[in-house]
A and B are shown apart, each in its own frame.
Chain A
Amino acid sequence: QKEVEQNSGPLSVPEGAIASLNCTYSDRVSQSFFWYRQYSGKSPELIMSIYSNGDKEDGRFTAQLNKASQYVSLLIRDSQPSDSATYLCAVVTGNQFYFGTGTSLTVIP
């Protein structure tokens, strides 16, 4: 399995704050990067994809990619209690998706 590393957390932020989630990967030829959210007892759901270096914004979510540093991050602005979940970083090499261990996020009302 390819190496995809995330801080396991738990990460706690107050409601309205910015949550920052980080991910590093080992395979330099990885082409595509995704962030998934997984609520307890549920399957992962796709939040965002990013393919090029730089930032990509979608609503309250911003993904950042730095291929030279093999680093991808997810920022959640104006965090809400409903954002409390485990966030999984996924890295694609070839046609296969490899997942990090996930970061547990709790947004405190």
Chain B
Amino acid sequence: SAVISQKPSRDICQRGTSLTIQCQVDSQVTMMFWYRQQPGQSLTLIATANQGSEATYESGFVIDKFPISRPNLTFSTLTVSNMSPEDSSIYLCSANKNTGELFFGEGSRLTVL
């Protein structure tokens, strides 16, 4: 398995501000992804974080709102920009290795007031 560390684990933010979530993996992985899990809901894929290039976003998610970086194989960031209460959610970093299995960080619980 891969150990995935995320920070912050939780935060309370004001409307209109931006927050950057960091994700560090303990070993080299092939793919990194960002998911959102809204209260009582399942996981929705936001984007695939590509090393050294622009992320690949799913339908309904755009780079201006959720800019993502992945400067190397073990680190990625997700920024939630110009936040509104609708962005209140858990944001999960995930990664997989050549085994194909997907592992998750502990998540970042974001509350927007």
B-contacting residues of A (Cβ < 8 Å)? 1, 32, 34, 42-46, 49, 88, 90, 92, 95-102
20 further A-B pairs in the complex, CB-CB below 8 A; given A43-B104, A90-B102: A1-B45, A1-B58, A34-B102, A42-B106, A43-B92, A44-B104, A46-B1, A46-B101, A49-B100, A95-B30, A95-B48, A96-B45, A96-B48, A97-B33, A97-B94, A99-B35, A99-B42, A99-B43, A101-B41, A101-B42
Interface extent on B, as a size class?
Answer: 20 to 34
- A43 engages B106 (CB within 8 Å): yes
Best-buried of B31, B33, B43, B96 by chain A (most CB within 10 Å): B43
A99 to B43, CA, bound (A): 6
Contacts of A100 in B (CB 8 A): 42
Within 8 A of A (CB), among B17-51: 30-31, 33, 35, 41-45, 48
Best-buried of B30, B42, B44, B94 by chain A (most CB within 10 Å): B42
- B103 engages A46 (CB within 8 Å): yes
Q: What secondary structure prevails in chain B residues at the interface with A?
A: strand
Shortest distance from the beta carbon of A107 to any chain B beta carbon, whole Å:
20
Shortest distance from the beta carbon of B44 to any chain A beta carbon, whole Å:
7
A7 to B49, CA, bound (A): 31
- B41 engages A46 (CB within 8 Å): no
- A43 engages B100 (CB within 8 Å): no
Given the contacts A43-B104, A46-B102, A1 and B44 also touching, CB distance less than 8 Å: yes
- B101 engages A98 (CB within 8 Å): no
A61 to B72, CA, bound (A): 37
- A97 engages B104 (CB within 8 Å): no
